[in-house]
Amino acid sequence: MRANGQNYMNNELIRLTIDNPYEGLTIVDANGIIRCFSRSNEKVFNVSREDAVGKHVTEVIPNTRLHIVARTGKAEIGDPMLIGDEKKIVGRFPIKKNGKVIGAVGKVIFFQTKKFIEMASKVSQLQEEIKLYQKNITSFLKAKYTFDDIIGESEALKKVKEEARRCSNTSSTILITGETGTGKELLAHAIHNSSIKKYQPFVNLNCAAIPAELIESELFGYEEGAFTGARRKGKLGKFELARNGTIFLDEIGEMPLQLQPKLLRVLQEKEVERVGASHPIQLNFRLIVATNKNLATEVRKGNFREDLYYRLNVMTLRMPPLCEIKEDIPLLIEHFLTKMAIKLGTKKKRLTKEAENLLLEYNWPGNGRELENIIERAVNITEKEIIPIQSMPSKLIMSNLIAKEKDPTPRSFDKAMQDAKREIIKSALRYTNNNKVKAAELLGIQRSKFYYTMKKIGLL
């Protein structure tokens, strides 16, 4: 009884589906003979089901193409069809068994063309919105700098810029090395903007700025529900955002060891698998990485995978530290002074010769970034148009004084310290025209301590 009841239910569901008032189903066999005709079609075509079934479909629906679909096996979707005095949107689909066409089914998709036009308008609007979003994303993910933004005419810098230009249009991975503040990111931007991918996205990620537990989802994205706190509908990773463009991974030496095999697979297969996903996504991108570490040393220490290192070390560019290209410092000073004038909305200032010489003699452990910060500080604290040496940080002055007053003559530690302090204070007093208050400020020490030190070393 249960089986009979189940069969009855199944047959009833099929009957109600065929006779639903929203589609108007007509089913024909391979010869175009009507085998099923829904009750909702009776009023539309002014013929009963009993009279329609068994006839060729063209006898019941003169302008139909259902018999053609049954013959060709090619679906026709969204075609307008005049039924009576009204146009309706219909769909015609072949029915296949074991790859052979055995019939076709036709149904009304929209009873009113107005509804179809409304839907088409919505689809068109959505397509325009998608194009706008894509344009905005591309505009947002855009490289900011070109080779003109890398200031300097030294031979070392010109060489690295020329090498970078030559490899701009290759698809090979580029490894940029150099100390912090040498302009590795600027070079990555310039390479992208000089390549055929310049109108595609430029996506960057600093591996040292993202917590180790989050960097995987940032790089590769994740599916909805991949972990507690994951966004609804998931999230695109940096590699997906960089599709057809460039992805720049700064401080690659800081990438967690457990993620390095996944990055290696991405480079080898050009595919990304989101966290929590069951299938990979094929991507086309160009990878540029940078580091201030010696990756070969990190490999020997066990902090970086050897296979990944060789995969990254295809084309290597080294940004020289500022201490190696001091001839570029005057150009950088002028560039930063102009930049600060624009940024602060003030008249462009200039340095005294003493102040400029001080900058030329400093060793610049922080490289160009440190120089820019010092220029910005000097412009902010100097009211006049000329920036004197007194506007320079005391650490620069002290570093310069110590370098000048180095004495190879063997002395006791205490005597050497006293002599060094004496020479530094004497030099500071010379710079400030013997103004003790300004000399104390110049050296960054309290006035009382300055007087105490002068007395202790015999200058008072």
Question: Mind listing the pLDDT tens digit for each residue in 329-353?
Answer: 999 999 999 999 998 888 999 999 9
Please say if the pLDDT value at position 327 is more than 80.
Answer: yes
Do 236 and 301 share a structural domain?
yes
Question: Is residue 127 situated within a structural domain?
Answer: no
Residue 100 tokens read as 């052979």
For the ranges 5-19, 27-41, 107-121, 271-285, the maximum mean pLDDT occurs at: 27-41
Q: Which residues contact 188 (CB under 8 A, 6 or more apart)?
A: 143, 174, 176, 204, 246, 248, 250, 288, 290
pLDDT of amino acid 177: 96
Where residue 19 falls among pLDDT bands split at 50, 70, 90? low
Token digits of residue 265: 């697979």
Do 309 and 365 lie in one domain? The reply is no
359 and 374 co-located in one domain: yes
Residue 117 domain flag: no
The segment with the largest mean pLDDT, out of 18-27, 185-194, 270-279, 418-427, is 185-194
Both 251 and 199 in a single domain?
yes
301 and 366: one domain? no
Residue 409 has pLDDT above 60, yes or no: no
Domain-embedded: residue 116: no
CA triple 156-191-206, angle to 5 deg? 95
Q: Is residue 394 part of a domain?
A: yes
Mean pLDDT of the chain: 84
pTM for this prediction = 0.63
At 132, the pLDDT band (50, 70, 90 cuts) reads very low
pLDDT in tens, 91-108: 899 999 998 999 999 887
Give the domain CATH number at 75. Answer: 3.30.450.20
Q: Note whether residue 187 is domain-resident.
A: yes
Token pair, residue 350, equals 């200039």
My answer on whether 167 and 315 are in the same domain is yes
- Which sign, positive or negative, has the C-alpha torsion 38, 43, 46, 48? positive
> How many angstroms separate the CA atoms of 66 and 82, rounded?
14
Q: What is the pLDDT of residues 164-180, one digit of tens each?
A: 999 998 889 999 999 99
Torsion sign, CA atoms 168, 174, 177, 183 = positive
- Which of 111, 138, 164 is a domain's end point? 111
Residue the block writes with tokens 């910060």: 373
**β-pair partners for 386:** 350
Give the per-residue pLDDT at 157.
Answer: 96
pLDDT of residue 375: 94
- Say if residue 224 is in the same domain as residue 365: no
Domain endpoint, select from 260, 287, 320? 320
Same domain, 279 and 212: yes
3-class state of residue 435 by DSSP: coil
What is the total count of domains within the chain? 3
CATH number at residue 445: 1.10.8.60
Three-state DSSP at 276 gives coil
Q: In this structure, is residue 69 part of a structural domain?
A: yes
Give the pLDDT confidence score for residue 447 in this predicted structure: 84
Q: Which of 15-24, 134-143, 243-252, 290-299 has the lowest mean pLDDT?
A: 134-143
Residues spanned by the domain of 414: 325-456
Residues 155, 104 within the same domain: no
Once rounded to an integer, what is the mean pLDDT over residues 302-312?
94
Helices (H) and strands (E) in the chain, counts: 20, 14
Same domain flag for 173 and 315: yes
394 band by pLDDT with thresholds 50, 70 and 90: confident
Spatial contact of 277 and 320, defined as CB atoms under 8 Å apart? no
Q: What CATH number does the domain containing 193 carry?
A: 3.40.50.300
Last residue within a domain, chosen from 320, 339, 357: 320
Same domain, 232 and 351: no
Inside any domain, residue 353: yes
| Average pLDDT, integer, range 10-17 | 68
Same domain, 331 and 298: no
Q: Residue 154 falls within a domain, yes or no? A: yes
Mean pLDDT in residue range 65-83 = 87
